[in-house]
């Protein structure tokens, strides 16, 4: 696994220099970008592709970092709230089971009492 990572890492870091992109208008008005000319005669507008910057200063802006941190914090809070709600629902389910068992036990005791009372009357 490490060997394949070492082989693929340079390929991913390699910028896309020298690639031509073409901006091709569609008859429906939609603009499409593709690597081949729009027509066989080479129509369309050639667009230069800017390489993704690497190194210092190429990361996210401070605003983007703040947004990502805020989003991660929100998601963590939501996950915590969801886990707490799941625990609460599980506790409620257990309590409902206890109530149902108590009701069944009371019904069985009433039936036993009726049966005992019926035998004593005879």
Higher-confidence residue: 44 or 99? 99
At 28, give phi and psi (nearest 5°): -80, -5
What percentage of residues in the chain have a pLDDT greater than 70? Answer: 72
19 contact partners, CB below 8 Å, separation of at least 6: 35, 49
The Cα-based distances of 118 to 108, 109, 113 in angstroms read: 15, 14, 8
* Residue 43 to residue 22: CA distance in whole angstroms: 9
- Checking if the pLDDT of 121 tops 60, the result is yes
Q: Which helix (H) or strand (E) holds 121?
A: helix 62-121
- Checking if the pLDDT of 107 tops 80, the result is yes
What is the reported pTM? Answer: 0.42
- Checking if the pLDDT of 9 tops 80, the result is no
CA dihedral 106, 112, 116, 118 (to 10 degrees): 100
* Residue 23 to residue 29: CA distance in whole angstroms: 12
Q: So where are the chain's domains?
A: 1-50, 59-122
Length of the chain equals 122
Segment of 8-12, 33-37, 89-93, 112-116 carrying the highest mean pLDDT: 89-93
* Residue 17 to residue 49: CA distance in whole angstroms: 8
Reference 49, options 82, 100, 15; nearest CA is 15
* Residue 45 to residue 21: CA distance in whole angstroms: 8
């Amino acid at each position: 696994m490490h060997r394949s990572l070492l082989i693929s890492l340079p390929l991913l870091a390699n910028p896309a220099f020298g690639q031509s992109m073409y901006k091709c208008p569609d008859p429906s008005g939609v603009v499409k970008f593709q690597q081949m000319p729009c027509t066989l005669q080479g129509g369309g507008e050639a667009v230069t592709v800017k390489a993704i910057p690497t190194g210092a200063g190429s990361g996210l802006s401070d605003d983007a970092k703040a947004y990502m941190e805020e989003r991660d914090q929100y998601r963590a809070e939501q996950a915590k709230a969801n886990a707490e709600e799941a625990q609460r629902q599980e506790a409620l389910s257990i309590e409902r089971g206890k109530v149902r068992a108590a009701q069944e036990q009371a019904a069985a005791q009433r039936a036993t009492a009726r049966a005992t009372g019926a035998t004593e009357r005879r």
